[in-house]
Structure 1
Amino acid sequence: MTVRIDLDRLAPEPERLSRRLDELAAFHDPDHAGWSREVFSDPYRASREWVRAQMIEAGLETTVDPAGNIIGRLPGKDTSAPALVTGSHTDTVRQGGRFDGIVGVIGGIEVAQRLRETGTRLERDLLVVDFLGEEANEFGISCLGSRSIAGILAPEHLERTDGTGLRLGDAMEGFGLSPGAALGSGWRARDVHGYVELHVEQGPLLERSGHGIGVVTAIAGIDRLLVHFAGQTGHAGTTPMPDRHDALVSAAAAVLTVERVGCGAPVHGVATLGSIDSAPRSMGVITDEARLWAEIRSVDGNWLRGAQKQIVDEIAAEAGQRGVGVDFEWLTDQDPVPTDALVQDMIAGAADGLGLDWKAVPSGAGHDAAHLARLGPMGMVFIPSVGGRSHCPEELTEVADIARGAHVLAATLVDLDHRDKPVSIQ
């Protein structure tokens, strides 16, 4: 039997959304521009208590799991039924913004609070999750909390070290978490009815097209690359140009190779250069060692695999002409993940029902949603980013757009709740 719910009554309160955004923004590292709340930092630790308090204020039963995920539960009529899940993250990149991830947590809390305030009882529990450490970090692994929930946080991940030699497992312990228990804290697929995440687009497509809602079609795969160049030192003034084996020049040429490959993507693909490090860093000495960090992203797995081969072949060929040796190390952060087709339809239908224009868009960013897709049908709701800016202090999404996105999230969750059974995982 279909139960009709007045979705207009679930409209979020923009003033409360705005207040919570402002309050959370107060937790940041004052030594950096913008809003820096990196995983395991003191501002992040302080903000976690604030998030818990907001979930409690919203009427949610709140717990923290061994991996540090903050989970708020709004009980449904049948607490034994597979749960609905929403959420995102509240950590930021260094010198980041106020909206990336944060909108999904605050929006999820608002949806749960409006359900409770209006006396709207779902058939099943609704879980709102603030996932630990979604952003890339010094340990080279993102989405720590959602990986744990998805059951794919591995022992070797805990052995990774940062630039100081600190193990990830030790960093987690120092933050009051239980890394060993986090390895065994994965949820069962049969316990998840579906996952829907609200997020700012972080790009320009919605703003340019004039659409207020984005229905995400897929989350990009991310492949990260470390290239080590081994050349030969020599005197900068006496070594003839044809006799040089300059590792830094080969690394510089590789920068343009990576960019050129990214520009050649037929549909959706990007390439980004992270940094170059070299030695001996002397104007009077030819560089004999350099390291380059880069990444490529696309929702097209075939393009990613082809781009990997093209990058390796072209960099190796150019370096070989200079007599410079190269070693390549690829790290796949995540494979491309399509969103569930029927959840896409539900998000689009929710937007239509609320009189909002929507557009199907890919996500070039990584998200916790990509890992939750292992547990059940997954979808994402995007809202516009002003100027397409993100991961910077200028990041901005208007409160009115956040409220519209939260309303679509609420309508989608209500629709998903009344499905007789979860739609199939793709």
Structure 2
Amino acid sequence: MMPSDCSGTHSGTADGAASAPGGYRAVARCDALGAAPYSEENDRLFRPYLSAAHRATRARIAGWMQEAGMNTRVDAAGNSVGRYEGLKPDAPALLIGSHLDTVRDAGRYDGTLGVVLGIEVVAHYAARGVRFPFALEVIGFGDEEGSRFPVSMLTSRAVAGLLQEAPVGMHDAAGVSLQAALAEEGLLLEHMPKAARRPEDYVAYLEAHIEQGPVLEAENRAVGVVTAIAAQYRFRVSIQGVAGHAGTIPMALRQDALAAAAEAVLAVESVGRAGPPDLVATVGQLNVSPGVPNVVPGHVVFSIDVRAGEAAVRNAAAEEIRTALEALAARRNVTLEMTLQQDLPATPCDASLTRLLGDAVYTITGEAARRMVSGAGHDAMVLAALAPVCMLFIRCAGGISHNPAEAVDAADVEQAFQVMTRFIEEFAGHYLDSKERPV
């Protein structure tokens, strides 16, 4: 194992440009990306895929990648990519990354911190002239959240080779097509599948991410190791009733779509609460039509998100929800359509990589790593189709995420940085051993 000087320093400027690579500078850089021009809105952070704010962020990230000694490019899906060559120019790469897009009114660290930490790791080694038997490649995925177009993890799907055809017919809420948005960046929709990488060109994928939950804080731990990412279903539910005058239709004769939806929301919650601790069921979006005070609502569309650590638990809950909703629709004399929009299987992290990551946590912290299942989806669950994956969680204050109150302790992020460098060095030794072992 190569020696690693991982001491961190507090940033000396707004983006940490004057300080040494590490967790403190990573936090400062995320803070620098938390406002315009890196946000579409002046009073809150919103960085959707292929927006002007996204473009500005890609440019800033590319600058930091280049300062760290990487060659940079934007791939056919609009992902930001930096590469630090290995001992041989054609060596396969250890991919490090996360996403650069955000939800509306977001925090500064979800996704972005993982990208910036990858840059800090490369800067650490470039400053020492250290190279590995594999390249280090950092990627900032363009669209993990699905905040603009109606599919999440679109650009990591492209990288993993899961977009066999260009996703035609996709529009944002303003009616702008994905094709037009890509064209604004000089990219072609028909070329999007060409962002696919070859499995033989990647040895592993490492993603560092804030926990987005309260477990690490409750146990007073800076970092944790992810063992699996929960299975996820996302449904679109449409309830069609009959709109009518609020003053003239008797209560007993109403076909009120919103009243039916309200009961459906409680049914979803009831199924989630009755299951095992890792099962969650959420209605996060609801649209009412015609949406005026003196009209009985005739049409409601809402979302359902169901997640669990095991696909069987998720599937059983989804079926229970479907049965309950069909029963209430029949009782209330409304029409129900429940359409599956997204099916993400449970993704176990690679056992050997997870063990190495846990060993790195123990070396840096002196404590056995907290092993945990991620209830949130991450690009890692898609990248598992390309390469073995592992994930490192970082404590966030109150477990709050997707919220401007999202916060991290720079000392925790520094510890994560040290864990990542330790992991990479240990992985390099194991990688060489595997190459020298006879077949």
- For the criterion TM > 0.5, the same-fold answer is yes
1:206 aligned partner = 216
Q: Deviations over 1:220-269 (max 9, x none)?
A: 22211111112123443333322222111111111111111121221312
Aligned identity (percent) is 36
Name the CA distance, whole Å, in 2 between partners of 1:392 and 1:215.
Answer: 23
Which residue of structure 1 aligns with residue 2 of structure 2? Answer: 5
- The yes-or-no answer on 1:217 pairing with 2:227 is yes
Corresponding residue number in structure 1 for 2:112: 102
- Give per-residue Cα distances to partners, 1:2-28, cap 9 Å, x unaligned: xx2113457653443344223222444
Match of 2:402 in 1: 391
The one-letter code of the counterpart of 1:392 is: N
Partners of 2:245 and 2:97 lie apart in 1 by 57
Q: Judging changes above 3 Å, is the alpha-carbon distance between structure 1 residues 282 and 13 closer, same or farther for their aligned structure 2 residues? A: closer
Evaluate the alpha carbon distance shift between residue 156 and residue 290 of structure 1 in structure 2; reply closer, same or farther with a 3 A threshold.
farther
Task: State the shift of 1:112 in Å.
Answer: 0.5
Distance 2:104 2:286 in 1: 19
* 1:226-375 to 2 correspondences below 5 Å: 226-357=236-367, 358-375=369-386
Residue aligning to 2:413? 402
Instruction: Write the distance in 1 (CA, Å) between the matches of 2:365 and 2:39.
Output: 40
CA separation in 2, counterparts of 1:17 and 1:272?
32
AA partner of residue 144 (structure 2): E
- Seen in structure 2, the aligned counterparts of structure 1 residues 377 and 183 have a Cα distance that, compared at 3 Å, is same
- Letter paired with 1:363: S
- Asked if 1 retains the 8 angstrom alpha-carbon contact of 2:242 and 2:255, the reply is yes
Deviates more, 1:402-411 or 1:271-280: 271-280
2:123 is matched with: 113
Kindly provide the CA deviation profile for residues 149-204 of structure 1, in whole angstroms up to 9, marking residues without a partner as x: 10112536332222333222222222332222121221111111111111111110
Secondary structure, aligned partner of 1:117? helix
Q: Which secondary structure does the structure 1 equivalent of 2:181 belong to? A: helix
Deviates more, 1:202-211 or 1:324-333: 324-333
Q: Structure 2, unaligned stretches of length 5 or more?
A: 9-20
- Displacement of 1:324 after TM fit? 0.9
One-letter identity of the residue aligned with 1:182 = M
Tell me if 1:66 matches 2:103. Answer: no
Q: Once the 2 structures are TM-superposed, how far is the Cα of residue 319 of structure 1 from its aligned partner?
A: 1.4
Structure 1 letter corresponding to 2:30: L
Q: Secondary structure at the match of 1:184?
A: helix
* Cα distance in structure 2, aligned partners of 1:25 and 1:234: 46
TM-score relative to the length of structure 2: 0.90
Asked if structure 1 preserves the Cα contact closer than 8 Å seen for 2:204 and 2:389, the reply is yes
Deviations 1:120-160 (A, max 9, x none): 22111110111112112232111222111101125363322
After superposing the two structures, state which structure 1 stretch, 51-60 or 231-240, moved more: 231-240
Structure-2 separation of matches of 1:270 and 1:294: 10
> Any residues of structure 2 matched to 1:67-146 within 5 Å, and which?
67-146=77-156
Give the secondary-structure state (helix, strand or coil) at the position aligned to 2:58.
helix
Would the alpha carbon gap of residues 75 and 359 (structure 1) be closer, same or farther in structure 2, given more than 3 Å must change? Answer: same
Equivalent in the alignment of 1:17: 26
Q: Check conservation: 2:104, 2:147, Cα contact below 8 A.
A: no
Distance in 2 of aligned mates of 1:70 and 1:378: 19
Normalised to the residue count of structure 1, the TM-score between the two structures is 0.93
Q: Which whole-Å CA distance do the structure 2 matches of 1:74 and 1:264 have between them?
A: 49
Q: Distance in 2 between matches of 1:52 and 1:59?
A: 11
1:368 to partner: Cα distance: 1.1
Q: 1:149 maps to what in 2?
A: 159
Secondary structure at the counterpart of residue 194 of structure 2: coil
Specify the code of the residue in structure 1 equivalent to 2:55.
Answer: R
1:404-423 aligned at under 5 Å gives the runs 404-418=415-429, 419=431, 420-421=433-434
CA shift, 1:279, in A, is: 2.3
Letter of the 1:13 partner, please give it: G
Deviation readout 1:82-132 (Å, 9 max, x if unpaired):
211101122211110111111111110011111111222211111011111
Distance 1:209 1:340 in 2: 25
State how far apart, in whole Å, the 2-side matches of 1:209 and 1:15 are.
23
**Residue-pair matches, total:** 419
d(CA) in 2 for partners of 1:88 and 1:127?
Answer: 12
- Cα 1:156–1:54 change in 2 (3 A) is closer
Question: Counterpart amino acid of 2:345?
Answer: D
CA shift for structure 1 position 307: 1.3
CA distance in 2, matches of 1:413, 1:197: 12
Is 1:382 matched with 2:371? Answer: no
Structure 1, unaligned stretches of length 5 or more?
A: none
- The 10-residue stretch of structure 1 (172-181 or 120-129) with the greater mean CA deviation from structure 2: 172-181
- Structure 1 residue identity aligned to 2:362: D
Separation in structure 2 between the aligned mates of residue 110 and residue 351 of structure 1, nearest angstrom:
18
Instruction: Tell me: CA distance 1:42–1:207, structure 2 relative to 1, closer, same or farther (3 Å).
Output: same
